Amino acid sequence: MVDYGHPLTFGISIDPTAADVIQSLALAQQADRAGLAYLAVQDHPYQPTHLDALSLMSTLLNRTENISVVSDVLDLQLRPPTILAKAAASLSAMAGGRVHLGVGAGASAQGVAAMGGVPRRGSEMVEYTEESIQILKRALHGGVVQVDTQQHQIAGYQAGPIPPQPVQVWVGSQKPRMLAVTGRSGDGWISPLNIYMAPDEVPARQELIDAAARSAGREPRDIRRIYNVIGAIGPFHGGSGLVGPVGLWVETLTDWAVELGFDTFLFWPATEPSSQLAVFSSEVVPAVRSRVAERRAQA
């Protein structure tokens, strides 16, 4: 049993498909009114049907009032860290701090190459990604950023604007070397979808993150843990992921919080996003908060 004790937060995945942008904006406004914490946006820029993630995040911020946006996750091989810091800080300054970044090494070397990027692999990819995360975090705090390594040459970037609220940098990872990067350098861990990272696989990953954090002089409890959860609430048949009634969702997310250590759940509805969001926000979320509070009090 691992519970890092963070307050629970919840969000919903926003479909970046260009043809569905009207529905996506309406879903974002619904989530904002419902009091969720995050709108999560995928980043697959090499998909011709997908909008650019940062452009969509900007529009989502413009159409909402309180909810934050988070990239889930941005491909660092296609987004130089100083440019990404500039974009995130600018969005944050314009939106009152409602911006966080999920970043990763990139899902497809072929896709990176297709867009003119360098398709790094293996240890080079890991080294590049960790350096990028460190540069990104440094630039988000303002000041002069100067780096001269094999992977990055930055001659003296005067970073800014400084975001009104700290921009958290969460790392999407699933294999040992990138999980270690998460522990050493990330503000949080974004796990892949529950259909790709099954719950019984999570404890071993958490242990790798924690060990890397300790080796870097960090406290594991300072690292957020975010789970992408696909599924459907109610009598839905034929879907994958977590599928079942409200009670099943409440007990499952409670277990994943107090036993697996997750503090944030990003919901990916497998069907009827608007009606699923309504049930998630009005029935599942408050019940999970209550049950987790009870479990923590008993512990």
CATH number at residue 238: 3.20.20.30
| Number of domains present in the structure of the chain | 1
**Does 1 fall in a domain?**
no
pLDDT of amino acid 237: 80
**Does 4 fall in a domain?**
no
**Does 139 fall in a domain?**
yes
CA distances for 36 relative to 47, 68, 206, 272, angstroms: 28, 9, 25, 18
Before 48, cis peptide (omega within 30)?
no
List the Cα angle 218/138/150 in 5-degree steps. Answer: 95
Number of residues assigned to the chain: 299
Confidence of residue 39 (pLDDT cuts 50, 70, 90): very high
Contact status, residue 16 vs residue 56, Cβ threshold 8 Å: yes
pLDDT of amino acid 148: 96
Stretch 70-97: mean pLDDT, rounded? Answer: 97
H or E element: which one contains 182? helix 176-185
Rounded Cα distance between 45 and 9, Å, is 27
**Does 128 fall in a domain?**
yes
Contact status, residue 117 vs residue 77, Cβ threshold 8 Å: yes
pLDDT digits (tens, 9 = 90+) for 18-38: 999 999 999 999 999 999 999
**Does 115 fall in a domain?**
yes
Q: What is the DSSP letter of 19?
A: G
pTM: 0.97
**Does 221 fall in a domain?**
yes
- Strand-pairing partners, residue 269, are 231
Instruction: Answer whether residue 87 shows pLDDT above 90.
Output: yes
| Domain containing residue 202 | 9-298
**Does 2 fall in a domain?**
no
Instruction: Answer whether residue 108 shows pLDDT above 80.
Output: no
Query: pLDDT > 70: what percent of the chain?
Result: 100
**Does 79 fall in a domain?**
yes
Contact status, residue 174 vs residue 228, Cβ threshold 8 Å: no
Mean pLDDT of the chain: 96
Q: Can you say whether the dihedral through the CA atoms of 166, 77, 202, 15 is positive or negative?
A: positive
pLDDT digits (tens, 9 = 90+) for 118-151: 889 899 999 999 999 999 999 999 999 999 999 9
Instruction: Answer whether residue 109 shows pLDDT above 90.
Output: no
pLDDT digits (tens, 9 = 90+) for 232-276: 999 888 778 999 999 999 999 999 999 999 999 999 999 999 999
pLDDT of amino acid 297: 96
Contact status, residue 236 vs residue 274, Cβ threshold 8 Å: no
Rounded Cα distance between 88 and 142, Å, is 12
Stretch 38-43: mean pLDDT, rounded? Answer: 97
pLDDT of amino acid 292: 98
Stretch 82-107: mean pLDDT, rounded? Answer: 96
Rounded Cα distance between 134 and 122, Å, is 19
**Plot region of 276 (φ>0 → left; ψ -120 to 50 → alpha; else → beta):** alpha
